[in-house]
Amino acid sequence: MVEVPWIYRDSQKLGDVEHLLQNYRSLICRLEDVDPRKLKHEEKLAFWINIHNALVMHAYLAYGIPQNNVKRLFLLLKVRVYTSKRVFLELEAAKDEYIRATFGVRKDQKILLPRIVESFAKDSGLCQAGVIEMIQQTFPVSLRNCIKKSQLGKPRKSIEWIPHNLLFGI
């Protein structure tokens, strides 16, 4: 990963990230040529996700990368390009990576997850047990077993929702 803390008009610093900027420009040019009115459902979904990712990358290039939440930001900096043929598989993979990167466990065995996962769970109709099962599926078998063991006999409130904070450090 190459961190771009700020784009300066300094030609040396700009040269260091030129290939990243070229990839970004290429994505933007391809998105500019798309007419969303002519797209099928999966194509529209991939298009709008790619627009979102391009705007996030633009914000990082323009304002720099915040110094906090580095683990979560790493996922955003991949500025994946979603395809209409695989958009649902690509979204599932992104969800799994995000959960693995943001998952935590307190000393009292309470699971820590960002509130955005809680929103996803509500939108998906998942109860707490369903959320824990979803989380377990993102990890290798050995870690799944650890999570299961830590949750045995626990009260219903075994997840703590932590704030999801991706503020720009301007």
When pLDDT is cut at 50, 70 and 90, the band that residue 167 belongs to is very low
Helices (H), the chain: 11-16, 18-32, 41-63, 70-76, 87-102, 115-124, 128-137, 141-151
Collapsing DSSP states into helix, strand and coil, what is residue 139?
A: coil
Nearest to 154 by CA among 85, 119, 105, 115: 105
> Of residues 148 and 127, which shows the higher confidence score?
127
Place of tokens 């109709």: 125
In the predicted model, what is the mean pLDDT of residues 139-163? 78
Average pLDDT, the chain: 78
**Amino acid 107: pLDDT:** 83
**Strand-by-strand arrangement of the 111-114 sheet:** 104-105, 111-114, 159-162
Q: What is the pLDDT of residues 78-116, one digit of tens each?
A: 567 899 999 999 999 988 988 888 888 888 888 889 888
Q: Give me the residue spans of the domains in the chain.
A: 1-85, 103-163
**Amino acid 152: pLDDT:** 72
Collapsing DSSP states into helix, strand and coil, what is residue 31?
A: helix
Q: What is the pLDDT of residues 9-43, one digit of tens each?
A: 455 555 666 777 787 788 888 888 899 999 999 99
